[in-house]
Amino acid sequence: MEQPWESLRQQFYQHFGKEPASMWQSPGRINLMGDHTDYQGGLALPIAVPYSTWVAGRLRDDQTIRGFSDFGQEDIHLEAQFVPSLVRQKPLRGLVGFVAATWDILGLEQGIDLYIASTLPIASGLSSSASLSLGILATVRELFGKSVLPEKMVPDARRIENEYLGVNSGILDPLAIALGRADFALLVDALVQDAHPVPFDYAGKGMSLWIIDTQTPRTLASSGYDQRVWECQQATHMLGVSFLRQATMKAIRGLTDSVLQARARHVVKENQRVRWTVSAAQGGDWDRVKFLFWASHWSLSQDFMVSTPVLDQTVMWLQEMGVGARLTGAGFGGSVIALGDVVQGKEIIRRLTMAYTDKGWQSPRFLEVARPAAGLHKVIPDNIKG
Ligand code: GLA
């Protein structure tokens, strides 16, 4: 079977008549536990997934930045000296926005040829945007002889989204993608902006994970997300703490505003659920992990109110089948993740497809994550061949 990197290399050659000098694979991520905690200094438990953005590049002798992609985005044709005037029009849009932001942050003047391919669904809550930022950053940094250590790239990936694209996102996505480790989950601590691998060996126990992309539009994702960030800040002011991570349940029960109380309750309990999920997985108590998935989903739905009827109903159907399930990421549409026995896979797909059809909903898309994938890494074709 042809590997994505082979086709990436061929596509690059077809467009530019030369071999790429640098190729990187930048995965997407799902979050297993700990949503809407990162911007309150909290904990999260993501994994990288085997669906990725692939970036190939080669320096040019002039100042032209030329780029193509295989996912229907506009071609890039930009002169490096025009980047400053382009970035003054922030927020930037499209592929050219990611590239211009990278040139601006790194202060580059030389041009490049770039080809970008993707096997990662866009706008499904799998962090395709952070994946793209990191793939471009790594390729460009390597070509310009700069360090590709994650600690150099994670802050810039976040800046691209927050400052240049105008998307209010936290540290979870870039950390998960940059530091993801095959076969492990990552325990993210947003207070210290770091993460370390922890065992999450569902594959070794005859289980699998599925991403169920509900294919529902995430129209409120941006405004709803900003509002939740603001509400959590209000709650911290009332509680007299810098981050909700530091608040106690006793203090939260004393909040008079019931909406802020519910938001804060979710964040504090979700942090606890991250720790419990890590220890349950370490102890091989997968029934408890499933239970924690459900508890997290209903907290995101009822206390944090970032779910939708389609996400709720999907989780309900999976819960009836004894499959661990929760929305993943920001919510407001996007994907549900499901944790069950490998043998349940076919039944999950059959039942959900039928149930969606009965409701007259567009069929969901199923993506299996048989095991956690590696994070951002350089593609070295000869090693892969050898
Ligand atoms: C989005 C943001 C992350 C995080 C999640 C919710 O994916 O980009 O920083 O806040 O939502 O957990």
How far apart CA 286 and CA 207 sit, in angstroms, is 9
Average pLDDT over residues 169-173: 94
Domain boundary among 158, 176, 196: 196
The stretch 317-321 carries a mean pLDDT of 98
Residue 162 and residue 289 in one domain: no
Closest residue to atom 3 of ligand 1, CA basis: 170
How many Å separate Cα 165 from the centre of its chain? 16
Statement to judge: residues 92 and 219 lie in one domain: no
Residue 132: the pLDDT is 97
Q: Residue 384: its pLDDT value, please?
A: 45
pLDDT of residue 1: 44
In contact, 221 and 71? CB cutoff 8 Å: no
Structural domain boundaries, residue 122:
4-196
pLDDT range class, residue 122, cuts 50, 70, 90: confident
Q: Is residue 259 part of a domain?
A: yes
Question: Are residues 127 and 207 part of one domain?
Answer: no
What digits encode the pLDDT tens for the residues 24-47? 999 999 999 999 999 999 999 999
Please work out, in degrees rounded to the nearest 5, the angle formed at the alpha carbon of residue 302 by the alpha carbons of 369 and 291: 45
| Per-residue model confidence as pLDDT tens digits over 245-304 | 999 999 999 999 999 999 999 999 999 999 999 999 999 999 999 999 999 999 999 999
Distance 77 CA to ligand 1 centre (A): 31
Instruction: Output the average pLDDT for the chain.
Output: 95
Is the same domain home to 188 and 208? no
Residue 123, pLDDT score: 82
* For ligand 1, atom 2: residue with the closest CA: 169
Taking the C-alpha atoms of residue 40 and residue 55, their distance in angstroms, rounded to an integer, is 32
Distance 22 CA to ligand 1 centre (A): 29
Query: At 51, which CATH number?
Result: 3.30.230.10
Domain for residue 380, yes or no?
A: no
Both 159 and 281 in one domain: the answer is: no
For the chain, percent of residues with pLDDT exceeding 90? 91
135 and 264: one domain?
no
User: Are 150 and 210 members of one domain?
Assistant: no
Residue 206 lies in a domain: yes
**Position 379 in a domain:** no
Structure tokens at 99: 């590239």
The DSSP line for 53-91 is EEEEEEE-SSSEEEEEESSSPPPEEEEGGGHHHHHTTPS
Q: Is residue 381 part of a domain?
A: no
Same domain, 313 and 176: no
Q: Which of 35, 38, 113, 173 is catalytic?
A: 173
Is pLDDT at 330 greater than 90 in this prediction?
yes
Could you tell me which residues are beta bridge partners of residue 211?
Answer: 337, 367
Q: What is the pLDDT of residues 173-228, one digit of tens each?
A: 999 999 999 999 999 999 999 999 999 999 999 999 999 999 987 766 778 999 99
Residue nearest to atom 12 of ligand 1 (CA): 35
Catalytic (active site) residue 201:
no
Is 382 inside any structural domain?
Answer: no
Please report the atom of ligand 1 found closest to the CA of residue 330.
Answer: 11
Which amino acid, residue 282?
Q
Q: In 3D, which of 108, 117, 106, 123 has the Cα closest to residue 24? A: 117
User: Is the domain of 265 the same as that of 346?
Assistant: yes
DSSP for residue 333: S
- Give the nearest ligand 1 atom to 31 CA: 12
For residues 166 and 306, membership in a common domain is answered with: no
pLDDT (0 to 100) of residue 379: 95
Span from the CA of 125 to the centroid of ligand 1 (angstroms): 9
Check whether residue 277 and residue 188 sit in a common domain.
no
Per-residue pLDDT reduced to its tens digit, 80-108: 999 999 999 999 999 999 999 999 999 99
Residue 35 within a domain: yes
Asked if residue 88 and residue 104 are part of one domain, the reply reads yes
Confidence category of residue 5, pLDDT binned at 50, 70, 90: confident
According to the model, what pLDDT value does residue 217 have? 77
Rounded Cα distance, 224 and 232, in Å:
12
Q: Number of folded domains in the chain?
A: 2
Which residues does 276 contact at the CB level (< 8 Å), separation at least 6? Answer: 288, 292
Pocket of ligand 1 (CB under 6 A): 31, 35-36, 38-39, 169-170, 172-173, 329-330
Q: What is the CATH number of the domain that holds 249?
A: 3.30.70.890
Q: State how far the alpha carbon of 170 is from the alpha carbons of 5, 20, 260, 336, in Å.
A: 30, 32, 20, 20
Whether the ω angle into residue 91 lies within 30 degrees of 0, i.e. cis, is yes
Which residue in 131, 156, 121 sits closest to 54, CA to CA?
131
With a cut of 70, say whether residue 2 has pLDDT above it.
Answer: no
**Residue 198 Cα to ligand 1 middle (Å):** 20
Residue of the nearest CA to atom 9 in ligand 1? 170
Residue 15, pLDDT score? 97
Helical spans, DSSP H, in the chain? 4-16, 83-87, 94-106, 128-143, 150-159, 172-179, 221-239, 249-253, 258-282, 286-302, 309-320, 345-359, 381-385
Does the pLDDT at position 380 exceed 90?
Answer: no
Q: How many residues does the chain have?
A: 386
Q: How far is the CA of 54 from the centre of ligand 1 (A)?
A: 22
Among the atoms of ligand 1, which is closest to the Cα of residue 39? 10
Residue of 39, 220, 225 best suited for mutating to test ligand 1, as the one with most atoms within 8 Å of CB: 225
